Amino acid sequence: MSDDIEIDTDDLARRMDGAMSSLKHEFASLRTGRASASMVEPVQVEAYGQMTPINQVGTVNVPEPRMVTINVWDKSMVGKVEKAIRESGLGINPQTNGTIIMLPIPELNEERRRELTKVAAQYAEHARVAIRNVRRDGMDQIKKAKADGMSEDDVKIWESEVQDMTDAHIAKVDKALEDKQAEIMQV
């Protein structure tokens, strides 16, 4: 490979890994019928005059597979936290016991499971598009380097390396999607 012209494959790999971590975060927010503390992460509570993430007004725990509990630190905030959960669109009916709010996770029916697998597939497609965009940026860098005098052999080597990196990340997305869909469909 040419010593004077280099393509920043570390940056491309970092950006592709970023798309993967974003996908994992989106998958974590999907409700699979199993309790997870990450389910309530997107919920914002009106606390002390501003919107605050739920994990900053109480401790979120998962004491059993079908239950999430939130131990609210300030007793005056219990009603606001409960209201925020009801209005969040999670489809969970909170039950209050003092400063502890319990969120029983209902069983998912077959239709809802199928809808969730479609949502998971959409998240995976967004990740694939992001990875392909990074690939396109890499190929643009290679074209620019070719215009700046990179040899034809080096162009082929770099294009092959960028394509291999893209294929590996797309395969990771496909595997993550397959695992998530199996988890969602599991009864």
The pLDDT tens digits of the residues spanning 37-70 come to 777 877 889 888 888 888 889 999 988 888 899 9
Strand pairing class (95-97; 100-104):
antiparallel
Report the alpha-carbon angle 173-19-84, nearest 5. Answer: 100
On whether both 95 and 115 belong to a single domain, the answer is: no
Number of independent structural domains in the chain? 2
Domain boundary among 87, 104, 121: 104
Q: What is the structure's pLDDT at 3? A: 46
Q: What are phi and psi of 5, to 5 degrees?
A: -120, 120
On whether both 88 and 118 belong to a single domain, the answer is: no
On whether both 13 and 51 belong to a single domain, the answer is: no
On whether both 119 and 99 belong to a single domain, the answer is: no
Residue whose token pair is 């009864």: 187
Q: Write out the residue range of the structural domain in which residue 121 sits.
A: 9-28+109-185
pLDDT one digit per residue (tens) for the chain, 187 residues: 444 567 888 999 999 999 999 888 888 777 666 777 777 877 889 888 888 888 889 999 988 888 899 999 988 888 998 988 888 767 788 889 888 999 888 777 888 788 888 888 999 999 999 999 999 999 999 999 999 888 999 999 999 999 999 999 999 999 999 998 888 887 6
The mean pLDDT of the chain is 86
Residues 6+ apart with CB under 8 A from 12: 134, 135, 137, 138, 162, 165
Q: State the DSSP string of 156-177.
A: HHHHHHHHHHHHHHHHHHHHHH
Q: What is the CATH number of the domain that holds 124?
A: 1.10.132.20
Residues 6+ apart with CB under 8 A from 131: 16, 19, 166, 169, 170, 173
